[in-house]
Structure 1
Amino acid sequence: MIVKHLEQIVGTADDIDTPTWNSRRFLLKRDNMGFSLHDTIIKAGTETLIWYRNHLEAVYCIEGEGEIEVVGGETYPIQPGMMYALNGHEKHYLRAKTAMRMVCVFNPPLTGREVHDEEGTYPLANA
């Protein structure tokens, strides 16, 4: 059984802070669960281009407000209680009106050090 508390992750190597988001990574590839689990803060007033070419992601908003705009498609408001799943590797913009707290799940799981490249993509980890 794996048991972790947020305060055990904050300030460690599993707490990744960038100019637009901060991801506290609870479960990673090394945990052998088949997915990774993240508590992520999207910083207020930011916009991030994201394109998970190599991963599927599900996101559940628990705090804050913003929007997700699919490139060439629709824009959806984000607020607490809203979930979206990027099951088609959709390239998108994530915008935060206020700080948003999101629970994110990735398949395949992340290794823990990933940050978005210039295309908004995470690399696919080697086996």
Structure 2
Amino acid sequence: MIIADRAELQGTARDASGEGWTSLRLLVRSDGMGFSMTETQVLPGAVLRLQYKHHIEACYCIGGAGEVVELASGKVHPISAGVLYAPDAHDRHEVRVPSGGDALHLICVFSPALEGNEVHGPDGSYPMG
């Protein structure tokens, strides 16, 4: 049985952050589940250009509001509580959160699992684990 208490994970190697985002890694590769789960916040005013070349991801919004832009087509998808997005084909995308509002609060699942302390590289991806 795995029990992950966010209060105990904060401030550890599983509490990752970068410009415009924070991500608490609730499940990681060493937990042996085959996927990882994060509690992620995209901060107000952030524009994150991402492409997970080595992972697939699903993100479920539990608070805040923003948008995801498919960079190949320019299609814009509003994201708010209750909406899931999943760049299932390693899609290049941007996550945007307007300034002056609340952070976009997401629960994200990655496959394969993250090590736990990754940050985005210059191309917007995490390294292959």
TM-score of the superposed pair, with normalisation by structure 1: 0.95
Matches within 5 A, 1:10-89: 10-73=10-73, 74-89=75-90
Give the conservation status (yes or no) of the 8 Å contact 2:59–2:86.
yes
Shift of 1:96: 1.1
Are 1:105 and 2:109 counterparts?
yes
Q: What are the ranges of 5 or more consecutive residues in structure 2 without an aligned counterpart?
A: none
Report % sequence identity: 38
Q: What are the ranges of 5 or more consecutive residues in structure 1 without an aligned counterpart?
A: none
- Measure the CA separation in 1 of the matches of 2:97 and 2:111: 24
Shift of 1:85: 1.1
Q: Which amino acid aligns with 1:101?
A: H
- Measure the CA separation in 2 of the matches of 1:11 and 1:43: 18
- Measure the CA separation in 1 of the matches of 2:72 and 2:88: 16
- The equivalent of 2:91 in structure 1 is 90
**Which portions of structure 1, spanning 4 or more consecutive aligned residues, are displaced by more than 6 angstroms?**
none
Aligned pairs, how many? Answer: 125
TM-score of the superposed pair, with normalisation by structure 2: 0.94
Shift of 1:86: 1.3
Match of 2:120 among 103, 116, 119: 116
Are 1:2 and 2:6 counterparts?
no
Partner-residue secondary structure (3-state), 1:86: coil
Partner-residue secondary structure (3-state), 1:61: strand
Q: Which amino acid aligns with 2:119?
A: V
- Measure the CA separation in 2 of the matches of 1:31 and 1:11: 19
For residues 19-47 of structure 1, the C-alpha deviation after alignment (integer angstroms, 9 at most, x for no partner) is: 21000001000001010000001111110
- Measure the CA separation in 2 of the matches of 1:124 and 1:72: 23
- Measure the CA separation in 1 of the matches of 2:42 and 2:119: 14
